[in-house]
Amino acid sequence: MKDDCLFCKIARGKISSATVYEDSHFRVILDVNPATKGHCLIIPKEHFDNIYDLDAETAGKLFSLATCIARAMRDALGCEGLNIVQNNGEIAGQTVFHFHLHLIPRYKDDGVQLAWTPHESEEAQLEEIRAAIRKAI
């Protein structure tokens, strides 16, 4: 628990939230400023700043829970699709620096924009990048 962290307080129930699910490791809440109707956040109760800090066991449990919540959202909301978004760092759009997963239900003409511009690539450049990441694993 980090004293000055909003999501530590929400996850541990010290600040109230619209909770759709809770267990000993996670709280799932409705986003207070939703991208679309039913936008949920999965928040670990333990504090991790971002994905780089997350341990493998929590990550595994988290994604298992995400599948369960996604199915429940599909059934309850009747959404036509769903995006999973997870921001790390200010440049990537992170505004709350306690790891969380966004589950964003998608509806026809909902106005959500998650698109990027695809760029051309060169084989030599892809190979250099592939090798660098592979080496770092």
Residues at the interface with ligand 5GP (CB under 6 A): 6, 17, 29, 31-33, 41, 87, 93-96
Query: Are 73 and 65 within 8 A, CB to CB?
Result: no
Binding residue (CB under 5 A) for Zn ion from 27, 45, 98, 100: 98
Residue nearer to ligand 5GP on the CB measure, 13 or 93: 93
Query: Are 29 and 6 within 8 A, CB to CB?
Result: no
Quick check: 8 binds Zn ion (CB under 5 A)? yes
How far does CA 80 lie from the centroid of its chain? 19
Question: Edge-to-edge strands of the sheet including 26-30?
Answer: 19-22, 26-30, 40-44, 101-106, 81-85
Quick check: 70 binds Zn ion (CB under 5 A)? no
- CA atoms of 2 and 7, how far apart (whole Å): 9
Q: Where are the alpha helices (DSSP H) in the chain?
A: 6-11, 56-77, 123-136
Smallest separation, CB 94 to ligand 5GP (Å): 4
Binds 13: which of ligand 5GP, Zn ion, none (CB < 5-8 Å by kind): none
Is residue 102 annotated as a catalytic residue, yes or no?
A: no
DSSP E strand stretches across 15-130: 19-22, 26-30, 40-44, 81-85, 101-106
Residue nearer to ligand 5GP on the CB measure, 95 or 113: 95
Residue nearer to ligand 5GP on the CB measure, 96 or 129: 96
Quick check: 106 binds Zn ion (CB under 5 A)? no
Binding residue (CB under 5 A) for Zn ion from 12, 25, 47, 102: 47
Catalytic pick among 47, 98, 100, 102: 100
Residues with a known catalytic role: 100
